[in-house]
């Protein structure tokens, strides 16, 4: 769960973070264009 989602875990992330995994949240209040994480890349851009 996180405000950086939907996102993909980057290839060079530590193995325990599951590189290339697709992450998403069902909690609408969590969605934010301000969210980020150093080991993820957004799947869709914020508009």
Residue 38 lies in a domain: yes
- State mean pLDDT over 23-31: 74
Domains: count for the chain: 1
In the predicted structure, residue 9 carries a pLDDT above the cut 80: yes
With bands split at pLDDT 50, 70 and 90, how would you rate the model's confidence at 31?
low
Residue 2 lies in a domain: no
Q: How many degrees, rounded to 5, is the angle at CA 16 between CA 24 and CA 6?
A: 15
In the predicted structure, residue 29 carries a pLDDT above the cut 80: no
Residue 37 lies in a domain: yes
Residue 47 lies in a domain: no
The answer to whether 2 touches 23, Cβ cutoff 8 Å, is yes
At residue 47, the pLDDT reads: 56
Between residues 44 and 7, the one the model is more confident about: 7
Residue 19 lies in a domain: yes
At residue 11, the pLDDT reads: 96
Residue 24 lies in a domain: yes
The domain containing residue 30 runs over which residues?
7-42
């Amino acid at each position: 769960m996180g405000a950086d989602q939907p996102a993909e875990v980057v290839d060079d992330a530590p193995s325990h973070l599951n590189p290339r995994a697709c992450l998403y949240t069902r909690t609408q209040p969590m969605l934010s264009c301000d969210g980020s994480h150093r080991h993820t890349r957004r799947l869709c851009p914020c508009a």
